[in-house]
Amino acid sequence: MLRANLAPVEAILASQQRRQLNDGPTPVQRLRRLEQHLGTDVELWIKRDDLIRPMCGNKVRYLEFVLGAYDGARADCLIHCGGITSNYLAQIAMVCAAEGIPAHLIVLGERPETLQANVLVEEVFGANVQFRPGRFGTSCSQFKSQLAQKLKDDGRHPYVIDHPFSNFSAILGYMACYIELTGQVAEHDAPQPDHIFLCSAGNSYLGLRLADDLAGNGLAITTCPPLHWSESGLDAIAPDREAFLRKKADEFREFCGASFGDPEIDVDVSQVGDGYGQATAASITAVRLLASTEGILLDPIYTGKAMAVMLNRIRDGRFASGTRLLFLHTGGALNLFTYAKAFDAHAGSNH
């Protein structure tokens, strides 16, 4: 059972300021109709982090610690930057509206003629949104710094979500998720998983991986990033994603004073396709399949790609009979509604 030694993980979480935003735990459900459709004797389960809050998802777990730091800094507004399909920016807008916090969001790219999905949500929820050309990594940090200085000149006290605490908050959020899952297993509200799959560029994954390493449970966890490493804007910092994640783990070890060895990184980029924000035939098939068999919406650029990885491994016979796979649904279904043309192009692809 996933309860070997949770004390080190609990101590790390207890050391950080946190504003409660998630009343959880999020449910864990069996995907029996999907199993039947696939004709597999592998058990398929899903943890519904897409249900943390209406239209939100896994970034709410991050924001509990971000807003804890925000409170500690006595800030009066929040700044972040991301891509046009960023689920994080949309969830910041929603949470900040509910918490009465002015949100300043920088979206990389040109303002679309018609606002849809996440960018529409950001404006509807009252965030101050500006569109800027640039790429991930260095551009975002530069833009956030410039905006922060402007707000300071205007007498404001902004809190900027940026490296390194932006990484730490995400890791902390998914350490908390790991503790939540162990509680569900102990209460028989979830099975003991053998393998977890999720879509993560790294931070959510590291939270689970490091928590499991500290607890000594030895759980297999695979992350399925939504973008190629060359798109991240971080290739000047580390030669590949695995090296970068080990660097993040080292930074987190120093930050929290914990003692753990180098994590065993399991990254699968086989379903990224043409890159970030680009739907693939396999991701669209995965979205249609889970929707038609279980009534659960994924999206074609994040969770759909991670589901495609898990489905391919099942079809390839990678798991023994009775193996329990847990898919961690991190949310993002709003992005589905900007990919109508891609779904039209692959009509009927439910297999």
**Contact criterion met (CB below 8 Å) for 222 and 194:** no
Q: Are 278 and 303 in contact (CB under 8 A)?
A: no
* Beta carbons within 10 angstroms of residue 36's beta carbon: 10
- 319 and 190 in a single domain? The answer is yes
Helix residue ranges, H only, the chain: 7-14, 32-38, 59-72, 87-99, 117-124, 138-153, 165-186, 203-215, 241-256, 281-294, 303-315, 340-345
Is 66 found in the same domain as 40?
no
Is residue 165 included in any domain, yes or no? Answer: no
List CB contacts of 125: < 8 A, sequence separation 6 or more: 93, 94, 96, 97, 103
What's the whole-number average pLDDT of the chain? 94
Q: Which amino acid is at 277?
A: G
Same domain? For 187 and 260 the reply is yes
Whether residues 239 and 268 fall in one domain:
yes
Convert the pLDDT of each residue in 226-282 to its tens digit.
Answer: 999 998 878 888 999 999 999 999 999 999 998 888 899 999 999 999 999 999 999
- Does a structural domain hold residue 246? yes
CATH of the domain at 329: 3.40.50.1100
For residue 23, being part of any structural domain is answered with yes
Chain centroid to Cα 99, Å, comes to 21
What would the mean pLDDT of 42-67 be, rounded to a whole number? Answer: 96
The one-letter code for the residue type at 307 is M
Residues 104 and 43 in one domain: no
Co-location of 317 and 218 in the same domain: yes
Q: Indicate whether 155 and 260 sit together in one domain.
A: no
Neighbour order of strands in the sheet with 324-329:
28-30, 43-48, 324-329, 195-198, 220-223
Based on the number of CB atoms within 10 Å of its own CB, is 113 exposed (0-12), middle (13-18) or buried (19 or more)?
exposed
* Residue 25: cis peptide before it, omega within 30 degrees of 0: yes
The answer to whether residue 300 scores a pLDDT higher than 90 is yes
pLDDT in tens, 182-240: 999 999 999 999 999 999 999 999 999 999 999 999 999 999 999 999 988 788 889 99
pLDDT band at 23, cuts 50/70/90? confident
Is 168 part of any domain? no
Domain extent at residue 273: 7-57+173-345
Lowest mean pLDDT among 109-118, 129-138, 198-207: 129-138
Q: Model confidence at 349, in pLDDT bands (50, 70, 90)? A: low
Question: How many domains does the structure of the chain reveal?
Answer: 2
Instruction: Report pTM.
Output: 0.95
Q: In the predicted model, what is the mean pLDDT of residues 127-146?
A: 87
Domain co-membership, 50 together with 119:
no
Residue 306 in this model has a pLDDT that exceeds 90: yes
